[in-house]
Amino acid sequence: MGEAVKFVIDGLKANIENKEILRGVSLTINGGEVHAIMGPNGTGKSTLASAIMGHPKYEVTAGRITLNGEDVLEMDVDERGRAGLFLAMQYPAEIPGVTNADFLRSAINARREEGNEISLIKFIRQLEAKMKELEMNPEFAHRYLNEGFSGGEKKRNEILQMMMLEPKLVILDEIDSGLDIDALKIVAGGVNAMRSDDRGFLIITHYQRLLNYIKPDFVHVMMQGRIVKSGGPELAERLEAEGYDWVKEELGIVDETVGGPEEEFKVPMNTVAPKYN
Q: Report the distance separating Cα 42 and Cα 48, nearest Å.
A: 11
- Residue 110 belongs to some domain of the structure: no
Residue 51 lies in a domain: yes
pLDDT (0 to 100) of residue 2: 59
Considering the chain, what percentage of its residues have pLDDT values greater than 70? Answer: 91
What's residue 222's pLDDT?
A: 96
Residue 183 lies in a domain: yes
Whole-number pLDDT of residue 178: 78
Helix ranges (DSSP H) in the chain: 45-53, 77-83, 100-110, 120-133, 151-165, 181-193, 208-211, 233-242, 245-251
Residue 57 clears pLDDT 70, i.e. is over it: yes
Establish if 220 belongs to a structural domain: yes
Residues spanned by the domain of 218: 6-94+167-265
Per-residue pLDDT at 177 exceeds 90: no
Tens of pLDDT, residues 61-113: 999 999 999 999 999 998 898 889 999 988 888 999 999 999 999 998 887 77
CA angle 99, 53, 183 (to 5 degrees): 55
Over residues 137-162, the mean pLDDT reads 93
In a domain, 58, yes or no: yes
Residue 162 has pLDDT above 60, yes or no: yes
Inform me whether the pLDDT recorded for 143 exceeds 70.
yes
Q: What percent of the chain has pLDDT over 90?
A: 73
The answer to whether residue 126 is domain-embedded is no
User: b/e string for 153-170 if b means 16 or more Cβ within 10 A?
Assistant: bbbbbbbbbbbbbbbbbb
| pLDDT tens-digit readout, 20-34 | 999 999 999 999 999
Q: What is the pTM of this model?
A: 0.88
d(C-alpha 1, C-alpha 21), whole Å: 38
22 burial (CB, 10 Å; 0-12 / 13-18 / 19+) is buried
Q: What is the pLDDT of residue 112?
A: 78
**pLDDT level of residue 115 (50, 70, 90 thresholds):** confident
Of the listed ranges 162-176, 228-242, 261-275, the least confidently predicted one is 261-275
pLDDT above 80 for 3: no
CATH number at residue 46: 3.40.50.300
Residue 30 lies in a domain: yes
Determine which of 120-129, 169-178, 252-261 has the lowest per-residue pLDDT on average. Answer: 252-261
Which SS3 state, helix, strand or coil, does residue 40 take?
A: coil
User: HSE of 70 in the Cβ direction (CA atoms, 13 Å)?
Assistant: 15
Residue 272 resides in a domain: no
Number of domains forming the structure of the chain: 1
